[in-house]
């Protein structure tokens, strides 16, 4: 006991002085660890005379049990104290006034798409969903693009797998809708619109992006003419930009319309192009068994980003995809 008692006294003082569970763990390792003080005492058994070993071993084991009890008691006390400190630190004063939450906002593109949907729905168009990953046939072939057409080379696309690509235009929905007519799932007349993301393999700068949004709308009925197209686009432009806005048409070429036009709006003393339009090419209608002697149609499409860029004076397309709160918080609340 002359060698054991000083270790016990020293250990008891260290246990009492441990201010945290981490401190206590360090003390426990020092005395009860594999290389600790108690372990060193046990390793002395081999140096004692045989008749002294049983008594010494019993005394060391008794000392170990005493220390284990002291460690357990101190650990329970420290755990209780640390729990009380944590509860106090996390206490909430429910009588304090609440901190205001940051007001919710919609992304400017989301706000614009909602306005576009309201405008076209009010003009009688039904919105449908399409596929971002589209079949090459619907993106080009169904829109009167011949395999060797030069316009095909102008579409720098993300080709994902043989026969599939990320759609370059929401106009790709036309073929799918016309197939529904063939299967009897729809009946003429139709007014269809789609809005969503498109993708083109382009360098990103202030006016170009690999990802952008489009809205496309088309109508097929008896006697549809350019006059109907101009009337719809004029009403749409007035709903989006104000009653005083005017619409201008200029001849242009797109494989899926004949004749084709680009349309622009009067804006701040000039003309700003919004998109392309025209009468649906008879080849497309005939491809899906629609009688071109009886039916005709128009189609138009425009980029969504162009609208908030005009209305809010945004001069860099990249701002819409960077999720910078300093930019996004400048737009209207919900």
Nearest to 67 by CA among 31, 116, 109: 31
Model pLDDT for residues 180-238, shown as the tens digit of each residue: 999 999 999 999 999 999 998 888 888 889 999 999 999 999 999 999 999 999 999 99
- What CA–CA distance (Å, rounded) separates 191 from 200? 27
pLDDT, average across residues 137-146: 89
Q: Other C-beta atoms within 10 Å of 195: how many?
A: 22
Nearest to 198 by CA among 320, 94, 304, 279: 304
Share of the chain above pLDDT 90, in %: 52
| Domain 108-328 bears CATH identifier 3.30.930.10 | yes
Both tokens of residue 318? Answer: 């990249």
Both tokens of residue 254? Answer: 């797109």
Contact 267, 245 (CB under 8 A): yes
Going by C-beta distance under 8 Å and a sequence separation of 6 or more, which residues neighbour residue 232?
123, 217, 219, 298, 300
Model pLDDT for residues 300-332, shown as the tens digit of each residue: 999 999 999 988 889 999 999 998 988 988 887
Q: What SS3 class is residue 51?
A: helix
Model pLDDT for residues 10-55, shown as the tens digit of each residue: 888 898 888 888 888 888 888 888 778 887 777 777 777 887 778 8
Name the one residue in this structure whose structure tokens are 């008691």: 73
Domain boundaries, the chain: 5-89, 108-328
């Amino acid at each position: 006991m002359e060698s054991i008692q000083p270790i016990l006294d020293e250990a008891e003082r260290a246990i009492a002085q441990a201010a945290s569970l981490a401190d206590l763990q360090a003390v426990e390792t020092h005395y009860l660890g594999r290389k600790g003080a108690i372990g060193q005492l046990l390793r002395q058994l081999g140096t004692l005379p045989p008749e002294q070993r049983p008594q010494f071993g019993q005394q060391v084991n008794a000392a170990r049990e005493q220390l284990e009890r002291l460690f357990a008691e101190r650990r329970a006390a420290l755990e209780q104290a640390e729990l009380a400190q944590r509860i106090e630190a996390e206490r909430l004063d429910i009588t304090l006034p609440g901190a205001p939450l940051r007001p919710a906002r919609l992304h400017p593109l989301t706000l614009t798409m909602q306005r576009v949907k309201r405008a076209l729905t009010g003009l009688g168009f039904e919105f449908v969903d399409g596929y971002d990953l589209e079949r090459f046939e619907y993106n080009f072939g169904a829109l009167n693009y011949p395999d060797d057409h030069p316009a095909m080379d102008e579409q720098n696309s993300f080709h994902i797998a043989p026969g599939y690509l990320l759609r370059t235009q929401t106009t790709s929905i036309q073929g799918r809708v016309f197939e529904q007519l063939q299967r009897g799932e729809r009946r003429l007349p139709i007014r269809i619109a789609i809005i969503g993301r498109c993708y083109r393999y382009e360098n990103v700068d202030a006016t170009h992006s690999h990802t952008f949004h489009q809205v496309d709308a088309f109508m097929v009925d008896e006697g549809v003419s350019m006059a109907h197209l101009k009337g719809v686009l004029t009403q749409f432009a007035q709903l989006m930009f104000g009653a005083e806005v005017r619409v201008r048409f200029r001849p242009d070429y797109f494989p899926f319309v004949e004749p084709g036009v680009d349309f622009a709006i009067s804006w701040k003393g000039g003309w700003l192009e919004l998109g392309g339009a025209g009468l649906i090419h008879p080849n497309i209608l005939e491809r899906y068994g629609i009688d071109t002697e009886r039916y005709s149609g128009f189609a138009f499409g425009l980029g969504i980003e162009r609208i908030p860029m005009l209305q809010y004076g945004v001069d860099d397309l990249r701002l819409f995809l960077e999720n910078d709160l300093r930019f996004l918080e400048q737009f209207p609340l919900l």
